[in-house]
Structure 1
Amino acid sequence: MNKRIRVMTVAMGMVVGGVVVGMGAAQAAIFGGVDAGALWESNFTGATGGLAAQSVLMGVYSGYVGAYKGFDKNRGAFVVSANLQANRLRRFTVLDNDVFGGSVGVFHDLGQNASMLATVGGEAVRFSNSARDLATYMARLHFKEGSQTLWVGETGEYDDARGQENFSTYRGYSATLAVNWKPITSDVITLSAARAHDRYNIPTASIRTSDAGSLGWLQELGHGIYVRAQASREYVTVAGGPGFHTTIYAAGLGATF
């Protein structure tokens, strides 16, 4: 499975969950959401050296549910969540997969319009060919600071992915910096930059790094319903080999509660 897609969709669920926790004033509450969308990538196969790039169109269908309980006079909260996701490719259908995951964590208001969310969790990725199945364990630390109309988010993540096939088994980390602007009450515009560094369990070309920039937009339609769109450009390098560029467009419709 393409790691970039997994990181993108999981991060979206984490951020939505974190926002819900940050808004809550009750001692305990339940939150959740569903999302259905499409994603297109221009160079899904990572073609280099003048080879023809092959694109892919994917349907991404996800949902999550969680709960939190406040502590420290509601300045903090313990958080638990579960998520599932189905990825369906129009081409390369052998890579269709289902993702089942969950996490636990702690949220805390740091004062001065700043907050922190730390989580640990895992995901099981299931393919029709069980030899491709993958289990990923993750630790994330997310900070947010700013106002209700303009804020910055920083996220660091460590991944440990284990599977039967060496080319999909890796350990790595990623860091993301996002600037969010809410020009009106129903819109959020996000500009972000991310870097990932992974070491795969293969004898050659084991280190892979990627740098990506993204522009996203979310429009709230009311009653928790939203539409979203995102465009990303990524440059990937592999140790001992040439690098390649890829462009990713994503759009979807979802709802939160």
Structure 2
Amino acid sequence: MIRLSRMGIRNLAASETVYARGLQDYKQNHVVNATWSNSKQQYRITVRENFEYLVTIHVSPDGSFEHKCNCSEHLKEEGACRHVVTALFFVLNYVERSLMEEPDNPAEKTVYQILGYFSNQEDSVMQGETYHIKVSLSIPNILRSETGSAILSLRVGNHHYYKVQSIKKFLTDFYNKENIMLGKEFKFIHGESKFDKQSKKVLDYILQIYEIQEAIDKLFYSKLFAKSNIILTKICCFAFWISWRIVLLIWNYTERNMKMSYIRLPIRR
């Protein structure tokens, strides 16, 4: 019989984050198929995420085991991937239940079910990355004319910052609670990753524009969201200025040359 415990699974996991994700997937019933081969002494367990992954667990006579998964993370990480963690929790639960005969007495049966429930409620705190948003606002002639617009762009990251090439897609994914991947280092995992307090204010303001535009007419996306830029009117631009402390990139056009200056605006209390 396989020798397995919750602490053993935690120690096998590639990281605490992988362990927490695997445990969460198990609780959310991501195991869609499981078989045991008595001749091969092997479990074959299918775990469904965005795709289906096959986990094999070969059990030795002494109770030790080896595990494999056909996902790419299993090859890169040192330790068990999230799918293996999910599969091991499924096997652990199966073994524990097989060792405990369900009682016939109604009162004892209730206790049995309660114990089974709480045995799967192990605490798991997922601590994701905290990211930041840097804003650039280009203002050609908006301060000197009644009409005109400003151009806002974003860079996101932590140690390394990536320019958001499609703000519309970035906002849509964030709004729909999807994971966002930019480059090698920006991996925003919904439910785990977060933005810092100041960046969250910036994002909330832009999402207000997104929601209003979504409610009015999707046909106007091409006018507001232009690839890596958001086109802001004069009123929207001033509201953006007053609300938060942001380093603004202002282009001052003159007849002879072009000057660049940075302005730090105060926070409204």
TM-score when normalising by structure 2: 0.24
Which has the larger helix fraction?
2
Which has the larger strand fraction?
1
TM-score when normalising by structure 1: 0.25
Larger radius of gyration: 2
